[in-house]
A and B are shown apart, each in its own frame.
Chain A
Amino acid sequence: MTTDPSFTNQTFKIIGTRVPRPDGLDKVTGRARYGADASAAGQLVGLILRSPHAHAQIKKIDISKAEKLPGVKAIITSDDLPDLVKGKRDMLDILENCMARGRALYDGHAVAAVAAIDAETARQALKLIKVEYKVLPHVTDVDEAMQDNAPVVQSWVRTTGNPESNKPTNVCQVSQFGHGDIEAGFAEADVIIERSYKTEQTHQGYIEPHACLASVGPDGQGELWVTTQGHYTFRTQCAQLLGMDIAKLKVTSSEIGGGFGGKTHVWMEPIALALSRKANRPVKLVLTREEVFRGTGPTCSTSIDVKIGAKRDGRITGALAVLRYQDGAFPGIWGMLGGMTAWACYDLPNVKAIAYDVLVNRPKVAAYRAPSAPMAAFAVESTMDLVAHQIGMDPVDFRLLNAAKEGTRASYGPTYGPIGIRATLEAVKNHPQMKAKLGPNQGRGMACGFWFNFGGQTCATINIGVDGTVNVSVGTVDVGGSRASLSLIAAEELGVSYESVKCTIADTASLGHNDTTEGSRGTFSSGMAIIFAARNAVNELRARAAKTWDIPVEEVEWKDGQACAIGMQHNNLEPLSLAKIAAKSPRTGGPIAGHNETVADGAGVSFASHICDVEVDPETGATKVLRYTVIQDAGKAIHPDYVEGQFQGAAAQGIGWALNEEYVYGKDGRLQNPGFLDYRIPVCSDLPFIDTKILEIPNPGHPYGIRGVGETSIVPPLAAIGNAVSNAVGVRMNHVPMSPPRILKAIKAQRAAG
């Protein structure tokens, strides 16, 4: 996809207007159907039996009593799930995570599943399954897991990277990023600050648990209704794991009740399909909230060391981060991602990030909105404030002095094109919140964040009805309202009204493969595909008009939703509207459509800067967020309401992560708080209105200049709040979440120290 700067200075007719979303009515009336809202005749209820041990060998699973219970139609263990993935390790890991293969690797790991005529029978059947475990030593802390004597989670794992090793270990890889000479950089610094940080594990916390309705026949054909961020990806994964033909498994995406990265690969869907296949009846499998916390993919807990050296004038001369991320019980690249993003906001001559990916007896980590970036940013941005303070420089000015710009070599490798970090920092500097007065025990903090945005395989089809109304079919799941933006784009390109466009998320039988909605790619990728599909449709519309007028198609242009004949000789020809051409279409060549199959790329990168005012109660350690502002570059905001919504929602998740959310593990390696009571996400009374400022620095890689927006604003809040708390009560917090007990402990320690 070539970048064309002329794309980015257009004026739009309806792009950027705040139209009502097409799925709004269904969602406010309860008509919209999510994963658990579908049913099929004769369906069975599926339930999963989970390990109560953090690490155990499974010696025997006795299903004989359970099988005999009247109403039980199928029972599955790993014996029913042969390895069909031909040595692909990542797929085998997904399969083993769906159901344990001889060993339970974390508290909550699925070991068996049943399908029965109702929930009560299924529950009784689970109780009748006898599993003989041999409990093994476990490890749940990332630093402990790196010690030589730590229990080994996966005996086949060897460290790749530097150092390479041939010993069993929990360190699956060590990766490095950066450039320049770190030692020389620190040698020329006037000021050096070195700190260590820890962040605890959090879950994406989507309100809708995983749910699906699976139906597979003995002929190998099947259907799956499922809540997912990528129904095509789920189709590929399920087909591969179960030995089915991809084309014969039709997957329909329900409306999704939140994903944030946690619904980007399968957790229990292959189990539902396997149960259905065995019972030859539809199986509805819905996870409980406890299962969601114990058995699906949270993000990592981490341990990070940061060292920054700077000259008195504020220029950073050396920057080093050593990051240790736990991936759960299966290898991942989360630490590496943290290493890539840690220094991305800055223009650094000498920079290094060393990242460790470590295994522990915890659930398999999944992506969580800008995965791995928030933790690294917490460590880096907290240290940036410390350096600024040491030098006596304003924290915003310090960041501006060192901020990346067009032409900067990013710490993760490539050189930046036009980017928005300086603009967000300038906007912070000039924002009224920076000048608002603060009272006792109140403090203000700011922080920056970076995230990649991605494109990916995308298909779109535009079909024009005989009345001139337009069907748009896309394959990227709508996680937050993108159908409104995509309808705006189609309407803009075709020159028709927004109300005449209907956008649908097509099932897997109706379109070619579409990559998962992740990496902030939904509107970017499908938007791009729709633009090209619409332009193809417009070419066809022009051809039909040309045919009707009997003139060459080169003499027909498309303007404001109409075909117009160009040239003085055609002055007598009235323009033909899309509706008129569509009405004639049965006799001018049949249905009019436009298709596009593309690999959208050139997604650009995204930066955000946040400002946060807090008040800390020195007697309880409780923190109240008083005021919060998000400033982020969106490239081009197709529908401003939904761009603002992404900024606010991401910030709220970051605030919860910063202040309260964490997985609490007991000494027995069991998760203590798998529920919304004790895993405390922000509620309405915790937060103020969240101010947003959308900057629009066009992305030259997209016809409308769009940048992805969904993820970046979860990155700054951890540090913004850490910096604000530090300024409020004078304690530097290095452990997230900064819950009341932790803040109180820090305040007391500081008082004791005098």
Chain B
Amino acid sequence: MKIAVTGLLRGAVGGAASIDIEAATIRELMNKLVERYPQTESHLDAGIAVAINGEIFRDNWGEPIPVGAEVVLMPRINGG
């Protein structure tokens, strides 16, 4: 499954704009991400949000990732 990577996270995955990870939920995606790219662990603390088909998920790691969904890793941001 193609996972698009944006912002500072690219540095943690060797500069790639997208990586390949199979995952059925956000939790699985995060676990495999850290396993494969250990440098992403510090970003996890700062917060990584996941956009699935354009919807941004900040905390709901149980969220399932449908087959064929567009998945984008983004910084976890707040409003005001």
**Complex: A in contact with B (CB within 8 Å):** yes
* A177 close to B7 (CB less than 8 A): yes
Asked whether B8 is an interface residue with its Cβ less than 8 Å from the other chain, the reply is: yes
Interface residues on A, range: 35 or more
Measured between alpha carbons, how far is A454 from B51 in the docked complex, in Å?
12
* A161 close to B11 (CB less than 8 A): yes
Measured between alpha carbons, how far is A561 from B6 in the docked complex, in Å?
48
> Which residues from chain A contact B60 at a C-beta distance below 8 Å?
1, 455, 599, 601
Measured between alpha carbons, how far is A260 from B78 in the docked complex, in Å?
12
The contact string, 1 if C-beta is below 8 Å from chain A, for chain B 39-80, is 000000110000101111111100100000010101101111
Asked whether B13 is an interface residue with its Cβ less than 8 Å from the other chain, the reply is: no
* B74 close to A518 (CB less than 8 A): no
> Which residues from chain B contact A452 at a C-beta distance below 8 Å?
56, 77, 79
The contact string, 1 if C-beta is below 8 Å from chain B, for chain A 169-183, is 000010111010000
> Which residues from chain B contact A701 at a C-beta distance below 8 Å?
55
Asked whether A336 is an interface residue with its Cβ less than 8 Å from the other chain, the reply is: yes
Interface centre among B56, B57, B59, B63 (most CB of A within 10 A): B56
Give the interface of A toward B (CB within 8 A).
1, 3, 88, 90, 160-162, 164, 173, 175-177, 179, 204, 260-262, 264, 333, 336-337, 339-340, 366-371, 410, 412-417, 451-457, 516, 518-521, 599, 601-604, 701, 708, 711
> Which residues from chain B contact A260 at a C-beta distance below 8 Å?
80
Measured between alpha carbons, how far is A601 from B60 in the docked complex, in Å?
7
Measured between alpha carbons, how far is A553 from B79 in the docked complex, in Å?
44
Measured between alpha carbons, how far is A519 from B56 in the docked complex, in Å?
12
A714 closest partner in B (C-beta): B80
Asked whether B4 is an interface residue with its Cβ less than 8 Å from the other chain, the reply is: yes
Measured between alpha carbons, how far is A333 from B77 in the docked complex, in Å?
8
* A518 close to B8 (CB less than 8 A): no
* A414 close to B74 (CB less than 8 A): yes
A178 closest partner in B (C-beta): B6
Q: Smallest CB–CB gap between B23 and chain A, Å?
A: 17
Measured between alpha carbons, how far is A213 from B71 in the docked complex, in Å?
46
Please classify the interface of chain B as helix (H, G, I), strand (E, B), loop, or mixed, using the class held by over half of its residues: loop
Q: Smallest CB–CB gap between B27 and chain A, Å?
A: 13
> Which residues from chain B contact A412 at a C-beta distance below 8 Å?
6, 74
> Which residues from chain A contact B74 at a C-beta distance below 8 Å?
340, 412-414
Q: Which A-B residue pairs are the 7 nearest by beta carbons?
A: A261-B80, A519-B79, A367-B80, A414-B51, A413-B72, A599-B60, A413-B6
* A367 close to B6 (CB less than 8 A): no
28 A-B pairs in the complex with CB atoms less than 8 angstroms apart: A88-B45, A90-B46, A160-B8, A161-B8, A162-B11, A176-B7, A176-B10, A177-B6, A261-B80, A264-B78, A340-B7, A413-B4, A413-B6, A414-B53, A414-B70, A414-B74, A416-B54, A454-B58, A454-B78, A456-B59, A457-B59, A518-B79, A519-B80, A520-B79, A601-B56, A601-B57, A603-B55, A711-B79
Given known contacts A412-B6, A601-B60, is B79 in contact with A333 (CB within 8 Å)? no
B80 closest partner in A (C-beta): A261
Measured between alpha carbons, how far is A133 from B4 in the docked complex, in Å?
50
* B54 close to A417 (CB less than 8 A): yes
A453 closest partner in B (C-beta): B79
Q: Smallest CB–CB gap between A159 and chain B, Å?
A: 11
A515 closest partner in B (C-beta): B59
* A518 close to B51 (CB less than 8 A): no
> Which residues from chain B contact A367 at a C-beta distance below 8 Å?
78-80
Measured between alpha carbons, how far is A176 from B74 in the docked complex, in Å?
11
Q: Smallest CB–CB gap between B5 and chain A, Å?
A: 9
> Which residues from chain A contact B57 at a C-beta distance below 8 Å?
601-602
Give the interface of B toward A (CB within 8 A).
4, 6-8, 10-11, 17, 45-46, 51, 53-60, 63, 70, 72, 74-75, 77-80
Tell me how many residue pairs across A and B have CB atoms closer than 8 Å. Answer: 115
Measured between alpha carbons, how far is A521 from B56 in the docked complex, in Å?
13
* B79 close to A521 (CB less than 8 A): yes
- Other A-B pairs, 13, CB within 8 Å; known A367-B78, A414-B4: A204-B80, A262-B80, A336-B77, A369-B79, A370-B79, A371-B80, A412-B6, A518-B78, A519-B79, A599-B60, A603-B56, A708-B79, A711-B80
A369 closest partner in B (C-beta): B80
Q: Which of B53, B54, B59, B77 contacts A601 (CB 8 A)?
A: B59
Measured between alpha carbons, how far is A262 from B78 in the docked complex, in Å?
12
B63 closest partner in A (C-beta): A601
Given known contacts A160-B8, A175-B7, A176-B7, is B80 in contact with A417 (CB within 8 Å)? no
Measured between alpha carbons, how far is A21 from B11 in the docked complex, in Å?
50
* A366 close to B80 (CB less than 8 A): yes
Measured between alpha carbons, how far is A5 from B77 in the docked complex, in Å?
27
* A456 close to B58 (CB less than 8 A): yes
Given known contacts A164-B11, A601-B59, is B54 in contact with A337 (CB within 8 Å)? no
> Which residues from chain B contact A173 at a C-beta distance below 8 Å?
8
Measured between alpha carbons, how far is A173 from B11 in the docked complex, in Å?
12
> Which residues from chain B contact A164 at a C-beta distance below 8 Å?
11
Q: Smallest CB–CB gap between B50 and chain A, Å?
A: 9
Measured between alpha carbons, how far is A177 from B8 in the docked complex, in Å?
9
B6 closest partner in A (C-beta): A413
* A336 close to B58 (CB less than 8 A): no
> Which residues from chain A contact B58 at a C-beta distance below 8 Å?
454-456, 601
Given known contacts A1-B60, A519-B79, A601-B60, is B11 in contact with A336 (CB within 8 Å)? no
> Which residues from chain B contact A519 at a C-beta distance below 8 Å?
78-80
Q: Smallest CB–CB gap between B54 and chain A, Å?
A: 4
Q: Smallest CB–CB gap between B70 and chain A, Å?
A: 5
* A333 close to B80 (CB less than 8 A): no
Given known contacts A160-B8, A417-B53, A601-B60, is B79 in contact with A336 (CB within 8 Å)? no
* B77 close to A340 (CB less than 8 A): yes
Given known contacts A336-B8, A412-B6, is B55 in contact with A3 (CB within 8 Å)? yes
Given known contacts A161-B8, A369-B80, A414-B72, is B59 in contact with A599 (CB within 8 Å)? yes
Given known contacts A261-B79, A261-B80, A367-B80, is B59 in contact with A415 (CB within 8 Å)? no
Measured between alpha carbons, how far is A336 from B56 in the docked complex, in Å?
17
> Which residues from chain B contact A336 at a C-beta distance below 8 Å?
7-8, 75, 77
Measured between alpha carbons, how far is A262 from B56 in the docked complex, in Å?
24
> Which residues from chain A contact B4 at a C-beta distance below 8 Å?
413-414
Q: Smallest CB–CB gap between A598 and chain B, Å?
A: 9
> Which residues from chain B contact A161 at a C-beta distance below 8 Å?
8, 11
> Which residues from chain A contact B17 at a C-beta distance below 8 Å?
179
Interface centre among B4, B6, B51, B54 (most CB of A within 10 A): B54
* B78 close to A415 (CB less than 8 A): no
Q: Smallest CB–CB gap between A339 and chain B, Å?
A: 8
B15 closest partner in A (C-beta): A162
> Which residues from chain B contact A262 at a C-beta distance below 8 Å?
80
* A264 close to B80 (CB less than 8 A): yes
> Which residues from chain A contact B77 at a C-beta distance below 8 Å?
333, 336-337, 340, 452
> Which residues from chain A contact B8 at a C-beta distance below 8 Å?
160-161, 173, 175, 336
> Which residues from chain A contact B72 at a C-beta distance below 8 Å?
413-414
Q: Smallest CB–CB gap between A526 and chain B, Å?
A: 15
> Which residues from chain B contact A601 at a C-beta distance below 8 Å?
55-60, 63
Measured between alpha carbons, how far is A337 from B78 in the docked complex, in Å?
9
* B55 close to A417 (CB less than 8 A): yes
B61 closest partner in A (C-beta): A599
* A370 close to B11 (CB less than 8 A): no
Measured between alpha carbons, how far is A162 from B14 in the docked complex, in Å?
12
